[in-house]
Structure 1
Amino acid sequence: MFNQNEIAINSVMFWAVAFAAIALLNMASGVRAKSYLFAGVNLAFLFLLLGKSVVFVPLFVGAVFVVLQSFSIKSAKLATLTISSTILFFMFMVNKLQASVASFTAVGSILAIVGFSFITLRCVEVIRGVFSGQHAAPSLVMLTNYLVPFHMLAAGPIAAYDDFARKPFDDARLTNEDVMQAVEVIARGLFNKFVLCYFIDKIFLSGFRSDGAAFVLETLMFTLWSYLDFSSYSNIALGIGKLAGVTTPVNFRNPLISRNVIDFWDRWHISLSHFVKRNVFMPIQIALMRSRMRPRPLLYASFATTVSFLLVGLWHGIALKWLTWGALHALGLVGVRVYTHFLQKALTPQQMVAYRKNMAIRVVATVVTYVYVAFAFLAVALIGR
């Protein structure tokens, strides 16, 4: 099973593969050549990681390829979608439950490999894109590159299939400025992970065994640590992608200065929030708006948000602590929607502009949002004890 400890950014193997990818892709020209080289790098990385079990990854990618090809047959389209979605969900559940079930067999371990969370979400993305008719089925090589990019396996980001299908590689020649910016992003990720996170952990974190003011401080610092730790992987992936010319989306934009929880999810794990919006929130909201029920946009948006973030919580882990975390974020998002609706009713457009520009209100809102996000993380820690 993939995890961050196995795909470690401090391992020689990871960086050897990264340097090989950067060198090979910069020597190649054209999407076809880059596609084959990148697929080779990705499979080589998986072989180094998994050994002989790597054979099941191409088999899985091949199975997804067959599913995508079958969508061209109208009579089999819906049945194939149902069966493939069921199998994908089963493998995802195996992956999530493996850590808590000691009796998993070798077969269970293999299913856990291909059911890894980020691969699962990419499967959903490509299946949606092809099933809807928005995109033609990708070649086997391109599908490999989309599902198992070595630099995005550990912690994302989840590249949107729409973006990948449109532009899998950046053909622009790297300038010295591009190289320096990419190296700076990687260096920032490494510094955050191995310096800042290390000192925060050693100085402020105790597994929430502190009390009083120290407990409050630990809760706030744990939130900062979580951001620095998580975003470091995304920064490194972004920098490697830039150097190799592989399209890699930005995943974090200073989320801890967010004005509210909606703003937070526009800045935190951006690729996941956009995935949920495309594949869960919008389908639910559109279905409700098209129903014969009385149009109630705020209610429909609130319901879609709640379902979406309960699923986001369970995606992090099949456990009460993550369900609670998802519920708290859903509550925060719905609360912001309701409050914004109230303000729009109570204030004139000019007053609304003045309200948003008021620095004192902005500072208070940012602090409240940070504390709320920290409280959600605290709930995970306390319930998980």
Structure 2
Amino acid sequence: MINLEPYGNPQYFVYLLIGLIPLMIGLYHGHRWRWYQSAVSLVFIFLMFDSQKWQQGVALIGFVIWEWLMVGGYMAYRKKANNRWIFYGAFLLSIVPLLFVKITPAINPGHTSLFGFLGISYLTFRSVGMIMEMRDGIIKEFHPMLFLEFLLFMPTISSGPIDRYRRWLDDYQKVPDREKYVGMIEKAVHYIFLGFMYKFLLAYLFGTMLVPKLETLTLRYGGTGFSWPLVGVMYAWSMYLFFDFAGYSLFAVAISYLMGIETPMNFNQPFRSHNLKDFWNRWHMTLSFWFRDFVFMRLVFAMMKNKIFKSRVTVSNVAYIFNMLIMGFWHGVTWYYIAYGLLHGVGLVVNDWWLRFKKKHRESIPHNKLTEAFAIFLTFNFVCFSFLLFSGFLSKLWLGHY
């Protein structure tokens, strides 16, 4: 069997573009051949799993059936009654497969869960988001086939961006007019070329050529303390992380556009952020907005409704830390992922304090291009340090796990 990991090599694009030509012709002439779109998606999802990854393919099938039962079952029950405990049960059961995948390596180091497959996190976010919006009454109907189409939307199946059901459905149920679709194709071509530069040139330069050499120099001359090669690792790894992930996201958006779906962008010049909150409005945006809407805002609402804290500032501070800790745990049950989440949670608390302080003393605090440049510089370095922590290199350095 051919193994075609999504966007892993140029060969993948050749096969994919050939497969998409009939769909693109149909869209150009005002028709969305849903049966063909479904067939192409299933074929390329199937090709993700070679003979050594068949267990992941089975896990994907089992996961889809499980989520179909959870989301469809909750909607069926909700039409009869709106019991919050049923909601909690549907929510918890929908994340059970993901919890197994994340916890297994921590309990049994060196082993991965049998439930794991590429993209399980992002598919879980789609399902959980639907359950929450059903609870809110925003999604009023469950269409089994449309749910499967949404969950298994091929361009974004492995690593996002994370789309929302209602937004995706609005695109899927209509066909862009010819002028708009031609514009989408132009954007797709641009994103593909930009993605190639990001993922196959710049990410290779930083991740394959620079990072290993700088790590070797750090181990050789820096020991376990501060060294300039370690600073080099910090910047090089941060650039690798951005260009690799941003390149992948550009590919996913581009292929979505070719399929007539305007999947939201994932990055918006994050290293030009003026502060940490601005950074999270620019970095992995679909993930940060998902956590904002489904974790942070709901936690704030729950604490204010139950009057757990008197101060709104305290409420938001607790929500920031809790929200980012969950994001850290989501990356993995490992101390440096959790520390990464905690660091950003505390950073957002400090960031909010500073913004309130600036607003209160705006007449005495200068605001000009120099202070803006310093704010960008400070935010950039804070983020890069957090990425160094996230990379796990410090854990290897300090604990000697080489």
What is the TM-score with the length of structure 1 in the denominator?
0.86
Counting aligned pairs with the same residue, the percent is 22
- The whole-number CA distance in structure 1 between the counterparts of 2:82 and 2:257 is 40
- Mapping for residues 106-145 of structure 1, pairs under 5 Å: 108-109=113-114, 111-113=115-117, 116-145=120-149
Q: Contact (CA 8 Å) 1:94, 1:115: kept in 2 or not?
A: no
Hey, what does 1:243 align to over in structure 2? 258
- Out of 151, 155, 167, the position equivalent to 1:147 is 151
- The whole-number CA distance in structure 2 between the counterparts of 1:362 and 1:342 is 16
Aligned AA (2:267): F
- The whole-number CA distance in structure 1 between the counterparts of 2:169 and 2:29 is 15
Hey, what does 1:44 align to over in structure 2? 43
- Out of 256, 262, 269, the position equivalent to 1:254 is 269
Q: Contact (CA 8 Å) 2:38, 2:149: kept in 1 or not?
A: yes
What CA RMSD, in Å, does the superposition of the two structures yield over aligned residues? 3.0
Q: In structure 2, do the counterparts of structure 1 residues 176 and 28 end up closer, same or farther at CA, with 3 Å as the change threshold?
A: closer
Which shows bigger deviation, 75-84 or 117-126?
75-84
Q: Contact (CA 8 Å) 2:71, 2:130: kept in 1 or not?
A: no
Q: Contact (CA 8 Å) 1:88, 1:115: kept in 2 or not?
A: no
- Mapping for residues 280-319 of structure 1, pairs under 5 Å: 280-292=295-307, 295-319=310-334
Which shows bigger deviation, 4-13 or 306-315?
4-13
- The whole-number CA distance in structure 1 between the counterparts of 2:330 and 2:29 is 37
Residue 130 (structure 1) shift: 1.6
Count of equivalent residues: 374
- The whole-number CA distance in structure 2 between the counterparts of 1:382 and 1:320 is 12
Hey, what does 1:69 align to over in structure 2? 75
Which shows bigger deviation, 160-169 or 302-311?
160-169
Aligned AA (1:319): T
- The whole-number CA distance in structure 2 between the counterparts of 1:23 and 1:264 is 40
Residue 160 (str. 1) matches residue 167 (str. 2): no
What is the TM-score with the length of structure 2 in the denominator?
0.83
Hey, what does 1:208 align to over in structure 2? 215
Structure 1 residue ranges without an equivalent (≥5): none
Residue 93 (structure 1) shift: 1.6
3-state SS of the aligned residue for 2:333? coil
Aligned AA (1:171): P
- Out of 172, 180, 189, the position equivalent to 2:186 is 180
3-state SS of the aligned residue for 1:49? coil
Aligned AA (2:68): G
- Mapping for residues 3-18 of structure 1, pairs under 5 Å: 6-10=5-9, 12-13=11-12, 15-18=14-17
Hey, what does 1:382 align to over in structure 2? 393
Q: In structure 2, do the counterparts of structure 1 residues 368 and 114 end up closer, same or farther at CA, with 3 Å as the change threshold?
A: closer
Q: In structure 2, do the counterparts of structure 1 residues 123 and 139 end up closer, same or farther at CA, with 3 Å as the change threshold?
A: same
Q: Contact (CA 8 Å) 1:61, 1:144: kept in 2 or not?
A: no
Q: Contact (CA 8 Å) 1:260, 1:366: kept in 2 or not?
A: yes
Hey, what does 1:192 align to over in structure 2? 198
Hey, what does 1:324 align to over in structure 2? 339
Aligned AA (1:208): E
Where do 4+ consecutive residues of structure 1 move more than 6 Å?
Answer: 29-32, 102-105
Q: In structure 2, do the counterparts of structure 1 residues 229 and 87 end up closer, same or farther at CA, with 3 Å as the change threshold?
A: same
- Out of 91, 101, 104, the position equivalent to 1:95 is 101
Cα offsets for 1:26-62 (capped at 9, x unmatched)? 4159999544433333222222334572643552353
Q: Contact (CA 8 Å) 1:70, 1:77: kept in 2 or not?
A: no
- The whole-number CA distance in structure 1 between the counterparts of 2:27 and 2:142 is 21
